[in-house]
Structure 1
């Protein structure tokens, strides 16, 4: 669970754990050009996977990165599909979520509604809608307050203090204005997938985030399973503006992104595939990559979307067709990242999966204030930083000013 901490503690952590390595070079740019403490140059880098020492439920790794947890046989395990959405939730995508994707008839084989993980950024978010998604059992995670650019700022320039302000700060905003409980925040995804080196993961471990969902692995067949960061990551760090962690972060999970293979090329997510796709192309990409998981090692199949991509009617219809087809299979489950981690910790075969408690339909009991309202407040707020008025929608009281970095509750 992310916890607010003194900025002085964060600064101390930065000095003790990180600067020792980077400032062996006189200039940061020089450090980047010479590896910037990557696995090859970092004298304190994590060791390669030791399966004998790395034991579930606290640690998971394999030498290739694509071994099945618990050494189960492929045909004995459920195929997990993870739908993830990055960015704001608001009137522009609400109908897509509620009227097209997460409708009552879409259920997993155990009878529970399908679920997704939403990585929420602050600007333009309707916090009433976030609260309703949480009430309905979807996972709410963090995608930063500012979503600032350029992309390389996150990987090269963001300090541990910046990571704290952006990610713990956004958890605080969601907690205050959507009432999502702090203990329900498990993970984060970095804007632009610009992984932030050891500084990001140091902040995560210190402040209670369980997983990151930003590292893009090379496209391989069979694909990678998620892993913990007790040991060195099992693949090259090849994504644009990605500086993967080099140290050991025991118990922290990486919900690795397996790229989509599209003919002779690959794309990180559907929105980065060629923009001249037609509906048949989208459907074929989804089906072919699903089979690469389903027929091989059944690593979780991630479909990662910016919800604006689904505003294209052709794409949306192709995506819905794919959902309808795969949901006919008796061993396919649409689950959250939190549920994936619970399964890996306790590998459960198909004969037992309907009795697997972390995937049960939960009739969560909420306090009255935790239920999403029918008539939220629309707050018109000033912002000294942004220098113009901003609007924010919440079921709860309007703050004095627009919440922002180091002013998450809008108190000044």
Structure 2
């Protein structure tokens, strides 16, 4: 019995030394260095700059992901329709785009339209509140309200399948470390597209899972340290501006071409793309806020030309972020990839309703367009379906926390200062 007790005590000490704490609450096992022998696709992938399945670079599809962050509005839908609709890759499949949606001000009829076009709808939080430290320090329970509830909110009001909402990009590119990725694991999400890398951009790092410790640099702390099997990371490989400084999106670059010089902007897009295309072909993320390209016609024209150029290349494919993760689970060379059927979605109907709603959290009247019955009140944190408040919640409404949301927040980090995230 004494030897058995000693053995159990040693095991307990070993376990205690190998756990990560999630916001001072739940304990998770610390991730060990990746064991390539034990980490097998489709469910596990080591973090690496090596091309998956040891494919030759010239036989590897070059994936390009166009991503937009923020609210989807009637005004920016005009840009999306002009820029994205009725374009096909060289394999005949429609191009993809991922929209990381912020709830406030979003028009859910437009979300339904984008979804029916085959574009991916992903999460960017309900409140998108400032300051950035809120997201760094957010308890797990708050993250559930921001993102797991947002899945319910979007699915209900846009009338789209909740099972098709799989991606997350945290506001200001700021995660809460392990808690953020535990949220993904617990709530039937698939991947995160928040974690930016400066050190692993040439060659670029490929998507990987968090079964084991990541080799990726942590530019915006905290980053995950726990073992979270099956949670995928879609790394944000930073761009380089004209002076070589890293930037996580086009409008976050400090040194850019003249905003009226279309050709210079086209070349700027090409230079960053070619670092991937002429290298190991790690996925290339193109994140440009709609407001930026709408404000500068020359930038819009350059981007339009650039997208058209990419669609003519036989080994380049503009796809949704989720499509890259699905390919990463089962890497195919170009010839095999071209034999795959195009991804399709089952279209859903939007029975449009226009709903003027006064919000309980700030007393602002929102004009919400939905594909369902109008909610009783403006959906918000803790009430994603906008249900009528109970008498108990009404009595305590005077103590309701005020939420500061922002369209122009500036961080101290070069990777997340841009309000588009």
- What is the CA distance between 1:18 and its match in structure 2? 8.8
- What is the CA distance between 1:321 and its match in structure 2? 1.5
Structure 2 contact 198–246 (Cα < 8 Å) conserved:
no
Q: Which residue in 1 is equivalent to 2:271?
A: 288
Q: Which of 215, 233, 249 pairs up with 2:228? A: 249
What TM-score do you get using the length of structure 1 for normalisation?
A: 0.84
Structure 2 contact 152–384 (Cα < 8 Å) conserved:
yes
Alpha-carbon spacing, 1:22–1:406, altered in 2? closer, same or farther (3 Å): closer
Q: Which residue in 1 is equivalent to 2:373?
A: 397
Aligned: 1:193 with 2:182:
no
Matches within 5 A, 1:7-406: 20=21, 44-62=29-47, 65-99=48-82, 101-104=83-86, 106-155=87-136, 157-219=137-199, 220-239=201-220, 242-262=221-241, 263-274=243-254, 277-278=257-258, 279-311=262-294, 312-357=296-341, 360-362=342-344, 364-366=345-347, 370-373=348-351, 376-406=352-382
- Counterpart Cα distance in 1 of 2:152 and 2:257: 39
Structure 2 contact 28–226 (Cα < 8 Å) conserved:
no
- Counterpart Cα distance in 2 of 1:205 and 1:21: 14
- Counterpart Cα distance in 1 of 2:144 and 2:129: 15
Counterpart of 2:67 in 1: which secondary structure? strand
Structure 1 contact 189–212 (Cα < 8 Å) conserved:
yes
What TM-score do you get using the length of structure 2 for normalisation?
A: 0.82
Alpha-carbon spacing, 1:199–1:22, altered in 2? closer, same or farther (3 Å): closer
- Counterpart Cα distance in 2 of 1:243 and 1:298: 28
- Counterpart Cα distance in 1 of 2:386 and 2:139: 23
- Counterpart Cα distance in 1 of 2:198 and 2:380: 35
- What is the CA distance between 1:175 and its match in structure 2? 0.9
Aligned length, in residue pairs: 364
- Counterpart Cα distance in 1 of 2:371 and 2:183: 30
Counterpart of 1:351 in 2: which secondary structure? helix
- What is the CA distance between 1:130 and its match in structure 2? 0.2
Alpha-carbon spacing, 1:22–1:339, altered in 2? closer, same or farther (3 Å): closer
Structure 2 contact 19–226 (Cα < 8 Å) conserved:
no
- Counterpart Cα distance in 2 of 1:352 and 1:146: 42
Structure 2 contact 257–268 (Cα < 8 Å) conserved:
no
Q: Which residue in 2 is equivalent to 1:14?
A: none
Q: CA RMSD in A?
A: 2.1
- 5+ residue gaps, structure 2: 1-17, 389-421
- What is the CA distance between 1:50 and its match in structure 2? 1.8
Structure 2 contact 238–246 (Cα < 8 Å) conserved:
yes
Deviations 1:106-157 (A, max 9, x none): 21111011011111111111100000111111111111000000112101x2
Alpha-carbon spacing, 1:390–1:275, altered in 2? closer, same or farther (3 Å): farther
- What is the CA distance between 1:22 and its match in structure 2? 6.0
Structure 2 contact 240–253 (Cα < 8 Å) conserved:
no
Counterpart of 1:400 in 2: which secondary structure? coil
Structure 2 contact 20–226 (Cα < 8 Å) conserved:
no
Structure 2 contact 193–234 (Cα < 8 Å) conserved:
yes
Structure 2 contact 89–312 (Cα < 8 Å) conserved:
no
- What is the CA distance between 1:396 and its match in structure 2? 2.0
Deviations 1:303-362 (A, max 9, x none): 1232222212122111111112222211110011111111111111111212224xx152
- 5+ residue gaps, structure 1: 1-16, 25-41
